[in-house]
């Protein structure tokens, strides 16, 4: 099908979102202007409002897509039935998935407070759903005696904080490969929850 010149709705939308993600990650949501985003894309500021109702909607879309993408990716993984192997699989998945998209992770964590109350509740529910996946694994291993956890909920939060923390320091081409990092973290995770 031929497409009219100057009509780019299917390509401009994603480019706006990519530019917003990049700029929000680098400078923070509140510090980035709609004009900056437009300049990055190569359109005028007014044109942005064809693709988002407002600046807040742009942020919300980024966070929502990140969280639903994360949940969908985990849902698509094959899960071992043994809790220890299941936890290892989760550890690998979490580290690799998050290292693959550092800007999404950074923005999703840093800009939560810039969401309106309703948008915030939506994202929080998604995040909680993800946490529950890990908590179920830990509870499973606790129930069959492979893990020894004083508190499954706290262990969930502690492990996720530890694993997501990799994003704050990891850089491609650094001292350790992703595989090596994963192995080192798995060693600590495994021992931290061991019976």
Lay out the site mask for DNA across 4-33 (x = CB under 7 A, - = otherwise).
Answer: --xxxx--x-------------------xx
**Binding segment toward a second copy, per CB under 8 A, in 12-20, 58-66, 135-143, 150-158:** 150-158
**Binding segment toward a second copy, per CB under 8 A, in 15-23, 29-37, 57-65, 136-144:** 29-37
CB 41 within 8 Å of CB 12: yes
Q: How far is the CB of 54 from a second copy (least distance, A)?
A: 15
The DSSP secondary-structure symbol of 172 reads: T
Site residues (CB under 7 A) for DNA, limited to 44-73: 44-47, 49-50, 54-56
165 binds a second copy (CB under 8 A): yes
- Identify the sign of the CA torsion 52, 57, 59, 60: negative
Residues in a beta bridge with 194: 147
CB 21 within 8 Å of CB 101: no
**Binding segment toward a second copy, per CB under 8 A, in 37-45, 74-82, 95-103, 182-190:** 182-190
In the block, tokens 């299917």 appear at 10
Nearest Cα to Cα of residue 23 among 2, 48, 46, 50? 48
Nearest Cα to Cα of residue 112 among 18, 51, 24? 24
CA-CA distance, 182 to 180, in Å (whole number)? 5
CB nearer DNA, residue 47 or residue 126? 47
Binding site for DNA (CB under 7 A): 6-9, 12, 32-36, 38, 42-47, 49-50, 54-56
Binding site for a second copy (CB under 8 A): 26-31, 110, 113-114, 150-151, 154-155, 157-162, 164-165, 168-169, 176, 181, 183-185, 187-189, 191-194
């Amino acid at each position: 099908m031929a497409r009219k010149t100057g009509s780019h709705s299917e390509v401009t939308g994603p480019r706006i979102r990519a530019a917003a993600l990049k700029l929000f990650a680098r400078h923070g949501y509140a510090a980035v202007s709609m004009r900056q985003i437009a300049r990055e894309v190569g359109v005028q500021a007014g044109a942005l409002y064809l693709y988002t109702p407002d600046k807040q909607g742009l942020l919300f879309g980024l966070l929502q897509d990140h969280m639903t993408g994360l949940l969908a990716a985990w849902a698509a993984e094959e899960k071992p039935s043994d809790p220890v192997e299941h936890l290892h699989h989760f550890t690998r998945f979490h580290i690799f998935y998050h290292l693959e998209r550092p800007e999404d992770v950074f923005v999703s964590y840093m800009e939560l407070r810039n969401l309106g109350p309703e948008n915030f509740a939506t994202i929080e529910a998604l995040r909680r759903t993800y946490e529950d996946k890990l908590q179920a694994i830990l509870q499973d291993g606790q129930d069959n005696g492979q893990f020894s956890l004083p508190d499954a909920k706290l262990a969930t939060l502690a492990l996720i904080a530890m694993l997501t923390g990799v994003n704050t320091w990891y850089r491609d081409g650094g001292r350790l490969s992703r595989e090596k990092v994963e192995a080192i973290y798995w060693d600590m995770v495994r021992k931290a929850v061991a019976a």
